[in-house]
Amino acid sequence: MAGRLDGKVALITGGARGQGASHARRLAEEGARVITGDVLDDDGEATAAALRAEGLGVDYLHLDVTSPQDWAAAVAAAAERFGGLDVLVNNAGIIHVNPLLEERLEDWNALIAVNVTGALLGMQAAIPALRARGGGSIVNISSIFGLAGASGYVAYCASKAALVTMTKTAALEHAADRIRVNAVCPGGVRTAMNENEGTGVVPLTPMGRRADAREVSGTVLFLASDDSTFVTGTEIVVDGGYLAR
């Protein structure tokens, strides 16, 4: 059966584990040739090897999203190994909890470097490659905390809100290049990011649970694929109803 991403090459950051690993699996299941990048090299290699053992086309490379050199090498690898790049998923992200008055400049800067600057550098590196293929799709992973405030998360909220308007700006600037740029705003998702968080957003989530990462991957697949050819400059919320009230 034809896959929804047959012939496409996708680069997914933060792909060593969690949602990035799930997106890698889902996109590869639909025929994409996937490259994952992360700073957790052992986990990244192991995850990619496990997916390859299932017959899925997933390769791992070291990609610190704060490094322009790493981005250049990753996009070059996509071109050399697989002929180009069609999809970028800016998924890498970090989080910390500090009340606003206790937020420390070094924590703030470190988080903005990964969550915001990392996505900027990714789009800057990928767009020429997508353009060379006649177009493509960029999916930026924001959060419900990019659309609503959350006590203790001032840096994370700022970073995820920035991604929403960066997404719209990139979509405006590159619509004529046939490059679509969209954001996904997940609610609580069961990953290492919140394993020590207790109930977290669950009590405020009408569906009463966190998502499985695969429930976010379906939306990433939709935005990456030709099922969404007229969708650009917007965000899709995947939150079990968190923002509905």
The residues assigned a catalytic role are 156
Residues 150 and 167: beta-carbon distance below 8 Å: no
Nearest distance in Å: CB 20, ligand NAD: 6
The nearer residue to ligand NAD, 24 or 171, going by C-beta atoms, is 24
Residue type, 148: A
Residue with tokens 């703030």: 108
| DSSP letter for each residue of 63-108 | --TT-HHHHHHHHHHHHHHHS---EEEE-------B-GGG--HHHH
Cα–Cα distance measured from residue 49 to residue 39, given in angstroms and rounded to the nearest whole number? 16
The nearer residue to ligand NAD, 136 or 146, going by C-beta atoms, is 146
Task: Output the CA torsion sign for 35, 41, 46, 49.
Answer: positive
Cβ burial 150-164 (10 Å sphere, 16+ → b, else e):
beebbbbbbbbbbbb
Q: State the residues that interact with ligand NAD by CB under 6 A.
A: 13-14, 16-20, 38-40, 63-66, 91-95, 114, 141, 143, 186, 188-189, 191-194
240 DSSP assignment? T
Nearest distance in Å: CB 230, ligand NAD: 25
User: Count of CB atoms within 10 A of residue 212's CB?
Assistant: 13
